[in-house]
Amino acid sequence: MTGFLDAATLGAELGERATLVEFSTAFCQPCRATRRVLAEVAALVDGVAHVEIDAEERLELVRALGVVRTPTVLVLDRAGRIVRRASGQPRKADVIAALGQAV
């Protein structure tokens, strides 16, 4: 897998400026909080999309990207290039700072 993700691979449209991709699972408590944080940031920053991917349903993508725990968040630039990657529950300020590398 390259360092790029497109709408077909994600199953959702990329944001105009950046995309926050969250790999989560149904039983993951920190995933719920991560979903809220990423949705808030996407609503706050114009042109940013939040895409949540169920890791159990998309095992081929999880393996291709080397995702080993949930939540894992990827920050993509407008072209779908992965510019940041983090595991665990992020802080809102850290997500906003990571977006600075993508936009």
Residue 2, pLDDT above cutoff 80: no
Q: Distance between CA atoms of 68 and 99, rounded to whole angstroms?
A: 23
**CATH class assigned to 7-102:** alpha beta
Quote the pLDDT of residue 84.
94
User: Which residues are within 8 A (CB) of 97 and not within 5 positions of it... i.e. 6 or more apart?
Assistant: none
The pLDDT confidence band at residue 88, using thresholds 50, 70 and 90, is very high
pLDDT at 72 over 60: yes
74: part of which helix (H) or strand (E)? strand 72-77
Domain map of the chain by residue range?
Answer: 7-102
Asked whether the predicted pLDDT for residue 1 surpasses 80, the reply is no
Q: pLDDT band at 3, cuts 50/70/90?
A: confident
pLDDT > 70 in the chain, percent? 98
Token pair recorded at residue 102: 């993508």
